[in-house]
């Protein structure tokens, strides 16, 4: 049980770490256009994202896939930027209007990219060992718990701003997505490729 908590907390703290807030930014823009009433869609989007990054973690941890971390570190903020732009162009439109399958596939692909980013952190934390798969699952559960915390906070903030402060859903999505773009541009520019 103690070992479970070590890797669970490692995953939890990795997502919630202020120095590695790119994962949080992605989750914010992923769910910014949803409310608690749309919990099923939020659940499927976040689950799809989780499947993507867990798959990438497994493939990278067991050296089935190798990727240059410099490119992955560039792709992660690009996924955030693209998702925020998507929100801006879709702001004010119903989430029920088409594009669901494209959104799911894109979210899965973006999950793979984020998982590849996690893999170098995870492999650096555990090294080698026969229990690597178990540790990976414990780490992934910690990531999932952190994602649930972030998503719940975003949905609560959306509820507060839309109900108490009378923000329209469109304005909420535009403001949140614009703030995230403002935060992700410096991350993009600080990348080693540039």
Q: In whole angstroms, what is the distance from residue 152 CA to residue 27 CA?
A: 10
| Residue 25 within a domain | yes
| Among 184, 177, 180, residue whose Cα is nearest residue 77 | 184
Q: How confident is the model at residue 151 (pLDDT cuts 50, 70, 90)?
A: very high
Least confident of 88-92, 97-101, 175-179: 97-101
Q: In whole angstroms, what is the distance from residue 69 CA to residue 182 CA?
A: 24
| Residue 108 within a domain | yes
| Residue 91 vs residues 60, 86, 94, 120, 172: alpha-carbon distances, Å | 36, 8, 8, 35, 9
| Residue 194 within a domain | no
SS (H, E, C) 116-127: HHHHHHHHHHHC
What's the total number of domains in the chain? 1
Q: Is the pTM of this model over 0.85?
A: yes
| Among 184, 31, 53, residue whose Cα is nearest residue 120 | 53
Over residues 41-97, the pLDDT tens digits come to: 999 999 999 999 999 999 998 889 988 888 999 999 999 999 999 999 988 777 665
| Other beta carbons within 10 Å of 132 | 16
User: 3-class SS at 92?
Assistant: coil
| Residue 93 within a domain | yes
Please name the residue that has the structure tokens 């594009």. 99
| Among 145, 137, 120, residue whose Cα is nearest residue 12 | 145
Domain encompassing residue 98? 2-189
Q: Say what the pLDDT of residue 132 is.
A: 85
| Residue 52 within a domain | yes
């Amino acid at each position: 049980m103690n070992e479970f908590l070590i890797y669970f907390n490692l995953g939890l703290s990795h997502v919630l770490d202020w120095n590695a807030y790119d994962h949080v930014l992605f989750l914010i823009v992923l769910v910014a256009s949803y409310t608690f009433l749309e919990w099923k869609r939020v659940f499927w989007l976040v689950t799809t994202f989780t499947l993507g990054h867990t798959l990438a973690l497994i493939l990278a941890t067991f050296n089935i896939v190798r990727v240059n971390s410099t490119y992955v570190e560039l792709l992660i903020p690009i996924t955030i930027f693209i998702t925020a732009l998507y929100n801006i162009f879709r702001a004010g439109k119903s989430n029920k209007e088409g594009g669901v399958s494209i959104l799911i596939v894109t979210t899965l692909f973006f999950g793979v990219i984020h998982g590849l980013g996690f893999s170098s952190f995870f492999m650096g934390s555990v090294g080698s060992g026969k229990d690597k798969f178990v540790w990976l699952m414990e780490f992934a559960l910690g990531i999932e718990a952190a994602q649930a915390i972030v998503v719940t906070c975003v949905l609560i903030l959306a509820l507060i701003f839309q109900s108490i402060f009378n923000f329209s859903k469109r304005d909420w999505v535009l403001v949140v997505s614009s703030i995230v773009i403002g935060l992700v541009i410096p991350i993009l520019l600080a990348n080693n490729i540039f």
